[in-house]
Structure 1
Amino acid sequence: MRVTLQPSGAVLEILPGERILDGARRLGYECPQSCRNGNCHVCGALLVEGRVEQAGDVRDHGEFYTCIAEPLEDCIVLWDGVLALGELPVRSVSCQVIECRDVGGDTWRVRLRAPAGKPPRYHAGQYLMIERENGEKSAFSLASAPHSGRDLEIHVLARESSALSLIEQLQRNPMVRIEMPFGDTHLAELPNGPLVLIAAGTGMGQIHSLIEHCRATGFKHPVHLYWGVRRPEDFYEIEHWDEWLKLPNLFLHKVVSDQCGWQGRCGMLHEAVCEDFPDLKALHVYASGSPAMVYGTLDALVEAGMDAHQMRADVFAYAPRS
């Protein structure tokens, strides 16, 4: 039987005679549950369509308990709090601002510390929402990696008034409220093959998290970083850069698009990738930057032979194109 979960849209294939909770857990879902006999009501759900049998009682609508209910036909069920494999619950916490420092290129490194006893749970490459004093929320990629525990890091490009006002808030107020984690462009599972990480400007924050996670987990495949800016002075300080240079499987490439003649590489990011990889088929590609940059890079790499499904980017979710 097929049980479709709302609001996620996930579809569970429940075996004959199997209870819905047992089937969901067998398939890797994390579900609200406690007593497993229908008394605590923690696993309660709402039957939208279909029929279930619960303790000898057939129901075709209303509340039921997934720990004792078996589907009699395909069903649609409203069941809150169910998390798919690798999915983490969103939490809201107040954090201490422990660093807010200019690191060059009009970029500020902000470090936050979550409360003791509440280490934040997230995957490398996810992002948080930071709450401003007016109640509005802004998204920033996490530059820290999960092994950092309570300490979180973001990179803020402070050129526009909105970002400048946030920096002023963080310098003045030692506490800030955040929500996290968000985003499906992450490394919950490490790929079995080489990684190509493409960052434009402060897109380096997300890529920083991926590299630090690979370093902490002992990822053995080659990792190629392509970090692009318009001018050499737009690069900013990366605390672990010198340590990264010593890693045998990490290859660092800085690319400047608008000013040739400096000591490094010039041109577009996709040009540097194609120059280094005549065959793109074996790569796992992560890209972080503006929608225009990500889609331009995607189109160029697809034209060069990459399958579009090889690239992951948050842009595909928050700024989809037809």
Structure 2
Amino acid sequence: MRVTLQPSGASFEALPGERILDAARRLGFDCPQACRNGNCHVCAALLVEGRARQSGEVREHGEVFTCLAEPLEDCVLHWDGVLAPGELPLRKLACQVTLCQPVGGDVWRVRLRAPAGKPPRYHAGQYLLIEREGGSSAFSLASAPHEGRDLELHILARENSAIQLLEQLQRERIARVQLPFGDAHLAELPAGPLVLIAAGTGMAQMHSLIEHCRAQGFVHPVHLYWGVRRPEDFYELPHWSEWKTLPNLYLHKVVSDLCGWDGRCGLLHEAVCEDFADLGALSVYASGSPAMVYATLDALVAAGMDAHQMRADVFAYAPR
């Protein structure tokens, strides 16, 4: 029997006679539960559709205790606090600003430290929201999960909102953030080569992915394509020199507009297609503007890539 959860939309299959909580936990869901005998009410859910048996009684609606209830047919439950496999809870943290430093190309490197005893939980490649005067802004995490309390952001300071945010961080020395967000992450490492495609400060997300791969001992090749409009738009990365010595990491800087330098020129997808005659075995991650990401997707699909091989947060927040 299929059990579908609201409000998340996640679902799982329960075996005949299996209790809902047992099925969810067997399949890797993180569920609120304590006593497992229906006394604490922690695992309570609302049966919206379908029938379930609890303590010998068949129920068609109303509250059920998932540690006792067995679905008799496909069911829909409103069950708060359940996390699907790999999903992490959203948390709000007030972080200390430990570094706010320009690194070239109008980009600032910002380091935050979460409170002691509250290490942030996120997957490599996810992003956070940071409160600013009048709203909030999203920034990819350039740090990787193994760095514990320390978080890193790369902020392009060309628009007034970003400039004002940097002034706020330097003035208050506190950043109020919420995390994690984003589906284009590495909760699980792929079983083959990675291609990382970043435009501008989209490099922050790729920085997180590369550092995570290093920490996890990832043995497959990783190909990074970092694109900007002009050579002076590249900014300093703290681990670039170390990356150049790694045997399975291949670094490509690509300039699109002004090609007066000794590196590669053109569009990012052109560079990828030049390097790979066969795109079939690659896991591709892309970060940049919606226009850049969709143009890259279309070009790589035309070159033989399956669209499902590519992941990008743009697909969720700016669906085409």
Q: TM-score, normalised by structure 1?
A: 0.98
Question: Would you say 1:235 and 2:214 are equivalent positions?
Answer: no
1:119 corresponds in structure 2 to 119
| Matched residue, 1:95 | 95
Which residue does the alignment assign to 2:71?
Answer: 71
**Amino acid in the other structure paired with 2:245:** K
When the two chains are superposed, the root-mean-square deviation of aligned CA atoms in Å is 0.8
Match of 2:150 in 1: 151
Q: Displacement of 1:57 after TM fit?
A: 2.1
Residue 191 of structure 2 aligns with which residue? Answer: 192
Offset of 1:3 from its aligned partner? 1.2
Q: Which residue of 2 aligns with 1:256?
A: 255
Structure 2 equivalent of residue 31 of structure 1: 31
Matching residue of 2:80? 80
Q: Distance in 2 between matches of 1:97 and 1:306?
A: 42
Provide the C-alpha distance between the structure 2 equivalents of 1:256 and 1:152, rounded to a whole number of angstroms.
29
2:254 partner amino acid: V
Paired letter, 1:253 = H
Distance 1:200 1:224 in 2: 14
Give the structure 1 partner of residue 268 of structure 2: 269
Partner residue in 1 for 2:6: 6
Residue 12 of structure 1 and its aligned partner are, at CA, apart by 1.8
- Counterpart of 1:282 in 2: which secondary structure? coil
Name the residue aligned to 1:183.
Answer: 182
In 1, Cα distance between equivalents of 2:115 and 2:245: 34
**Does residue 281 of structure 2 align to residue 282 of structure 1?**
yes
Question: CA shift at 1:74, angstroms?
Answer: 1.6
| SS of corresponding position for 2:23 | helix
Question: What is the deviation of 1:23?
Answer: 0.5
Secondary structure of 2:9's counterpart equals coil
Deviation at 1:50, TM superposition (A): 1.4
Q: CA deviation at 1:173?
A: 0.6
Q: Deviations over 1:64-122 (max 9, x none)?
A: 11001111222110001111111100001100000111110000111100000111110
Deviations 1:208-267 (A, max 9, x none): 000000011110000000000000000000000000001000000000001113011000
* Residue type of the alignment partner of 2:47: L
Residue type matched to 2:161 in 1? S
Matched, 1:48 2:38: no
Distance 2:269 2:67 in 1: 51
> Is residue 2:298 matched to residue 1:295?
no
Are 1:304 and 2:309 matched, yes or no?
no
Paired residue total: 320
Moved more, 90-99 or 8-17: 8-17
Runs of 5+ consecutive residues of structure 1 not aligned to the other structure: none
Tell me the alpha carbon deviations over residues 18-48 of structure 1, each in whole angstroms, 9 at most, x when there is no partner. Answer: 1000001111111110100000111010011
The match for 1:244 is 243
Answer with 242-251 or 46-55: which moved more: 46-55
Q: Structure 2 CA distance, aligned partners of 1:74 and 1:304?
A: 42
TM-score, length-normalised on structure 2? 0.99
CA distance in 1, matches of 2:266, 2:133: 40
Q: CA deviation at 1:133?
A: 3.1
